Amino acid sequence: MVMMERFGSPASRIMSAMKSFQIPVRSVQPGDRLLVITDDAMDPLIWQCMMAAINEKGGEAVLCMWPRLPRHFADVPQMAIEAARGADVIVALTTTAMSNSTPGSRAMRQACGGPMWLMEELTMEILTDGGGRTTMADIEEICALGRKVGELQDKGKKIRVQADNGTDLTAEIGGLEPGFFANWWGRIPFGRNPKSGKLAGGTWPWGEAHVEPVPGTANGKVVWDVTAQYPPGRWKHPVTLVIENGRCVDIQGKTEADQVRWFVTTYGDENSWLVGGEISIGLNKLCQKNNDSVREWKKHYGAMHFGIGHGADRGTVNSILRLEGITDYITMTIDDTVVCEKGQFKI
């Protein structure tokens, strides 16, 4: 008997993947209804492991699958929106980014009435060798750091982000309810709402602290020097976004810059050029730099993902597209406090 028939090919690492999902499903109870959404390009082992983890906790898992959408942030099928009406949580395991930046994604969340656990673009490498290895002890450490960042975001009036690649952006922050960010980033994810008892939100891997600028106040340059949701993969050339009064007015660079400009022009609207989006710093030390996925990079310790377009926190910049890209080794200052210097936290 040949080895492939005896042992299977290739090795699946299913035990490690199941272990990775123990934190996301930690609060699932019998009677909870979770809709797992995916597409035909996702590794089947990933959505199967998630459904098995939900089932083991006594929850009801239902799969909704469609052919891979043609691009990131394309609208989901109408039937998927209808399927969400019976769910307590949507588990997003698609190979295209969902976020809350498209009308279809927002309609699906509204139909559900509960959170969407964002896990798009997950791979077995992320689950077993990257940020998916995060333990509860790691989560507690991340959330303790996140609360410190959140407290500065809550009290702060101005943020500045710099990097050696030419990034230098300033913006006004503040204006949200007291404790908004400290409670958000300091709270252990995937719990239950203390008031309603319903399952609460989370993303996987876990580990960021973002703030949406006050509309019209962002000025400067942001250089995406790693990757973005489009074009995918590790970039050969950086892309510079020129920001004036809360709007991206120019995109500079080589081939990747042309592709970014085409993507936003083709699939966005006028508000997709606004800032909007978010300025976010990664908090997770386990996320790996040899992975080219935005899902992994946006949580990477000391890196920033910066987005233009739809802003979810303030509800004032509404668009049909949000595009996020990565800047590594940032220095972030809130008012007079240096939060992070060249990728290393100082708080």
Which has the closest alpha carbon to 80: 71, 93, 166?
A: 93
Give yes or no for residue 62 having a pLDDT over 50: yes
More confident residue, 203 or 12: 203
What's the confidence (pLDDT) of residue 292?
84
Residue type, 145: L
What's the confidence (pLDDT) of residue 10?
64
CB atoms within 10 A of CB 107: 17
What's the confidence (pLDDT) of residue 344?
97
Give yes or no for residue 123 having a pLDDT over 80: yes
Structural domains for the chain: 3-129 (3.40.50), 135-345 (no CATH)
Q: How confident is the model at residue 3 (pLDDT cuts 50, 70, 90)?
A: very low
Task: Tell me the average pLDDT of the chain.
Answer: 94
Report how far apart the first and last C-alpha atoms of the chain are (Å, whole number): 59
For the sheet with 208-211, list strands across it: 208-211, 278-282, 304-309, 322-327
Q: What is the mean pLDDT of residues 209-216?
A: 96
More confident residue, 296 or 312: 296
Q: Which residues, other chains included, contact 7 with Cβ-Cβ below 8 Å and sequence gap of 6+?
A: none
More confident residue, 170 or 277: 170
Residue type, 232: P
Q: Nearest 5 degrees, angle CA 192-CA 196-CA 198?
A: 40
DSSP-H helix ranges across the chain = 3-7, 14-20, 44-56, 78-83, 103-112, 124-129, 136-155, 180-186, 255-267, 294-297
Q: How confident is the model at residue 8 (pLDDT cuts 50, 70, 90)?
A: low
More confident residue, 102 or 172: 172
Reported as a single tens digit per residue, the pLDDT across 318-341 is: 899 999 999 999 999 999 999 999
Reported as a single tens digit per residue, the pLDDT across 136-182 is: 999 999 999 999 999 999 999 999 999 999 999 999 999 999 999 99
| Cα-based distances in Å from 106 to 140, 277, 319 | 30, 15, 11
Token readout for 124 is 């077995």
d(CA 157, CA 77): 41
Query: Phi/psi class of residue 297: alpha, beta or left (left: φ > 0; alpha: ψ in -120 to 50)?
Result: alpha
What's the confidence (pLDDT) of residue 13?
85
Produce one character per residue of 303-339: b if its CB has 16 or more CB atoms within 10 Å, e if not: bbbbbbbbbbbeeebbbbbbbbbbbbbbbbbbeeeeb
| Cα-based distances in Å from 97 to 10, 33, 102, 237, 312 | 27, 23, 10, 23, 15
